[in-house]
């Protein structure tokens, strides 16, 4: 049984400060779970490339859902971006990348904290 759909719902969506979320395999881009949006292979490839080239990501930001997101933070573990009150948070563990988004009515700091806590939980489990 795949535990990730319940983790996304319980740890992220249920905070009411994460609009949509997904988790995919960092090495292959295979999506293991998603909630409130569909992640296409081109997006997982873009997210994987963002971690491979964090300096470029920091300078150029990311294009997601037909909008340009400015990078607020980018390092080997986390990428935070924002665009007109919306945000895209990416956090990497040894095996997975967790994606979380927030909208204007949500608190970015709570979204970031929730995604980072889920990543920390997965790291503790060796993932």
Q: Which domain holds residue 103?
A: 4-124
pTM equals 0.95
Q: What is the mean pLDDT of each run of 10 residues along the chain (127 residues)?
A: 90 97 97 94 97 97 96 97 97 98 96 98 94
What CATH number has the domain bearing residue 21?
3.30.450.30
Q: Which residues contact 67 (CB under 8 A, 6 or more apart)?
A: 83, 84, 86
**Each residue of 115-126: pLDDT tens digit?**
999 999 999 998
**Each residue of 70-89: pLDDT tens digit?**
999 999 999 999 999 999 99
Number of domains in the chain: 1
């Amino acid at each position: 049984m795949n535990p990730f759909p319940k983790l996304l719902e319980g740890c992220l969506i249920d905070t009411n400060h994460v609009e949509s979320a997904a988790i995919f395999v960092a090495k292959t881009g295979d999506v293991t779970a998603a909630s409130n949006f569909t992640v296409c292979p081109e997006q997982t490839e873009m997210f994987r490339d963002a971690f491979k080239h964090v300096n470029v990501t920091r300078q150029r930001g990311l294009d997601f859902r037909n909008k340009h997101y400015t990078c607020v933070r980018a390092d080997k573990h986390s990428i935070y971006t924002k665009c007109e009150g919306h945000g895209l948070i990416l956090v990497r563990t040894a095996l997975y990348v967790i994606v979380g988004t927030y909208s204007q009515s949500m608190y970015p700091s709570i979204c970031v904290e929730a995604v980072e806590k889920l990543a920390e939980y997965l790291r503790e489990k060796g993932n």
